[in-house]
Amino acid sequence: MKRVYLDNAATTSTAPEVLEAMKPYFTEKFGNASSVHSFGRENRNVVEDAREKVADLINADDSAEIVFTSGGTEADNLAIKGIAMKHRDEGKHIITSACEHHAVLHPCEYLEEYHDFEVTYVPVDEHGMVDQKDVEKAITDETILISVMMANNEVGTIQPIKEIGKIAKENNIYFHTDAVQAVGAISVDVNELNADLLSLSAHKFNGPKGIGALYIRKGTKITPFMHGGAQERGRRASTENVPAIVGLGKAAKVALEELEEKQEKITKLRGKLIKGIKEKIDEVTLNGHPTKRLPNNVNFSIRYIEGESLLLNLDLEGIAASSGSACTSGSLDPSHVLLAMDIPHEIAHGSLRLTLGKYTTEEEIDYVLEKLPKVVDKLRAMSPLYDQNS
């Protein structure tokens, strides 16, 4: 059966050239990068080379500002808890947004619950967009950190990060951005954004899973939460995961080289998919910002159907997609992002996210445009709500 993968916001496949680059570091080049012998020294060099490539991808001034982590989640945790613990004496207030990834929201909730921090969750508009004025208004004498994601993983909305970064800088507040969905998809420049901390993850841009990085601007002090050896300049203990770091470095290099070409190709395919869905299916609305959105993100609410059954039926046709209704994860509530956008429950329940990737083809988009309307028709035919309303 044909299989079409349109869930690249969840994860991407590791590119063949990335895998090839990693392979020797599982076998003959197995040394501990901190060892003094040649096995170690050689791997120290490749780790530092990968660090340079990651720094290049986000235009960091110095590769020493890159700390390797186990992924985006750890980078977010290290940024938020690391700043909070180090600077708690200067104030215990954090500003973030209502549509962040749980890897940001849950560390914030943890700080509220266990460390008496106060967190302001600024709202988003109907497009999932944060207003920088709301961020500015939320600032108090106690504010030590602002954390707003660069681009949303569910609806693809790109936030006014440059403006928020400027506000943070003017007010002498640390600024972190979760750029996990943005890095490798759009141009990211830590200096242009005024970011003090920035999270990224390899498996979202055709690198391996379980490796990511936190950019920490020179002079920004954090408290680590992994205590042990002196790796990563004392900011993240544990023996370096050399194969994964090499994979991240290679993925970063490829991402930078291919950025424009990939962006153009994916944007075009996305346009075709959005147009096709609007033409072929009635009563649909595009979620997220119409223009300020990631090139690869398509998110529709499809009325009178339920996201979970849509996903299961698409899966029977070989189409891998995702939904903002999280029944499978044991919760009946629609996604916090769609709810923050004030999308009514019954509409949020019928949300469908299709995220394109580097290997998505036009033929695959055509296949989805052939199958999806049929699946929607079938499900609506079984829905009592659809009959009454149409």
Ligand X SMILES: *Cc1c(COP(=O)(O)O)cnc(C)c1O
The answer to whether 128 is annotated as binding is no
Give yes or no for residue 153 binding ligand X (CB under 6 A): yes
Alpha-carbon dihedral sign for residues 270, 271, 276, 279: positive
Quick note: the x/- pattern for ligand X over 84-123, rule CB under 6 A, is: -----------------x-x--------------------
Give yes or no for residue 297 binding ligand X (CB under 6 A): no
In the residue annotation, 327 being an active-site residue is answered as yes
Nearer to ligand X, 51 or 204 (CB): 204
* Burial environment of residue 388 by CB neighbours within 10 A (0 to 12, 13 to 18, 19 or more): exposed
Nearer to ligand X, 73 or 220 (CB): 73
Stretch that binds ligand X, among 70-78, 115-123, 167-175, 380-388 (CB under 6 A): 70-78
Phi, psi of 291, rounded to the nearest 5 degrees: -120, -40
The answer to whether 202 is annotated as binding is yes
**What is the distance between the alpha carbons of residues 60 and 218, in angstroms, rounded to a whole number?**
10
Q: Which residue is at the shortest CB distance from ligand X?
A: 72
Nearer to ligand X, 72 or 249 (CB): 72
Alpha-carbon dihedral sign for residues 296, 300, 306, 309: negative
The distance from CA 209 to its chain's CA centroid, rounded to whole angstroms, is 13
Q: Is 248 left (phi over 0), alpha (psi -120 to 50) or beta?
A: alpha
Q: Strand 93-97 vs strand 143-147: parallel, antiparallel, or unpaired?
A: parallel
The answer to whether 201 is annotated as binding is yes
Give yes or no for residue 72 binding ligand X (CB under 6 A): yes
- The active-site residue, picked from 139, 186, 327, 347, is 327
The answer to whether 143 is annotated as binding is no
**What is the distance between the alpha carbons of residues 339 and 277, in angstroms, rounded to a whole number?**
23
The answer to whether 93 is annotated as binding is no
Give the contacts of 239 (CB within 8 A, at least 6 positions apart): 32, 33, 34, 229, 231
Nearer to ligand X, 104 or 375 (CB): 104
**Which of 47, 122, 135, 149 touches ligand X by CB under 6 A?**
149
- For the chain, how far is it from start to end, CA to CA, in angstroms? 34
* DSSP symbols for 208-231: -TT-EEEEE-TT-----SS-SS-T
Quote the DSSP letter at residue 270: H
The residues in 166-225 that bind ligand X, with binding defined as CB under 6 A, are: 178, 180-181, 201, 203-204, 212
Nearer to ligand X, 211 or 365 (CB): 211
The answer to whether 263 is annotated as binding is no
Give yes or no for residue 73 binding ligand X (CB under 6 A): yes
Q: Residue 212 CB, nearest distance to ligand X (Å)?
A: 5
Give the interface with ligand X as residue ranges (CB under 6 A): 71-73, 76, 101, 103, 149, 153, 178, 180-181, 201, 203-204, 212
Active site residues: 327
**Binding site membership for [2Fe-2S] cluster: which residues?**
327
> Binding site residues, as ranges?
72-73, 153, 181, 201-203, 239, 327
